Copies of this chain bind each other. A is one copy, B any other.
Amino acid sequence: MQGAARGVLPVLVRSSFPVVLAVPSPPPLHPDTIRTIEGYADAIVLRHFAAGSARAAAAVASVPIINAGDGPGQHPTQALLDVYTIRRELGRLDGVRVALVGDLAHGRTARSLAYLMAMFPGVSFVFVAPDVVRMGPDIKAHLDALGVPWTEAEDLRAVAAGVDVLYQTRIQKERFQDRPDQYEAARGKFVVDAGVMAALPATSVVMHPLPRVDEIVAAEVDADPRAAYFRQAKNGLYVRMALLKLALTK
Q: Give A residues with C-beta under 8 Å from B.
A: 1, 6, 30-33, 35-36, 39-40, 210-212, 218, 230-231, 233-234, 236-238, 241
Q: Is the CB of A36 within 8 A of B1?
A: no
Across the interface, A211 reaches (CB within 8 A) one of B32, B212, B230, namely B32
Contacts of A241 in B (CB 8 A): 6
Contacts of A30 in B (CB 8 A): 211
Q: Is the CB of A238 within 8 A of B1?
A: yes
Q: Is the CB of B40 within 8 A of A234?
A: yes
Given contacts A1-B238, A238-B1, contact A36 B218 (CB under 8 A): no
Contacts of A237 in B (CB 8 A): 39-40
Q: With the chains together, A1 CA to B237 CA distance in Å?
A: 11
Q: Whole-angstrom distance from the CB of A215 to the nearest CB of chain B?
A: 12
Q: Specify the chain B residue showing the minimal Cβ separation from A9.
A: B237
Q: With the chains together, A33 CA to B36 CA distance in Å?
A: 31
Contacts of A35 in B (CB 8 A): 230, 233
Q: With the chains together, A35 CA to B237 CA distance in Å?
A: 14
Q: Is the CB of B39 within 8 A of A212?
A: no
Q: Is the CB of B1 within 8 A of A39?
A: no
Q: Whole-angstrom distance from the CB of A82 to the nearest CB of chain B?
A: 15
Q: With the chains together, A1 CA to B87 CA distance in Å?
A: 18
Contacts of A1 in B (CB 8 A): 238
Contacts of A211 in B (CB 8 A): 30, 32-33, 36
Q: Whole-angstrom distance from the CB of A31 to the nearest CB of chain B?
A: 7
Q: Is the CB of A212 within 8 A of B32?
A: yes
**Additional A-B contacts beyond A36-B233, A39-B234 (14; CB < 8 A):** A1-B238, A30-B211, A32-B210, A32-B211, A32-B212, A33-B211, A35-B233, A36-B210, A36-B211, A39-B230, A39-B231, A39-B233, A39-B236, A40-B236
Q: Specify the chain B residue showing the minimal Cβ separation from A30.
A: B211
Q: Whole-angstrom distance from the CB of A28 to the nearest CB of chain B?
A: 14
Q: Is the CB of B230 within 8 A of A36?
A: yes
A-B contact pairs, 19 of them (CB 8 A): A30-B211, A31-B218, A32-B210, A32-B211, A32-B212, A32-B218, A33-B211, A35-B230, A35-B233, A36-B210, A36-B211, A36-B230, A39-B230, A39-B231, A39-B233, A39-B236, A39-B237, A40-B234, A40-B237
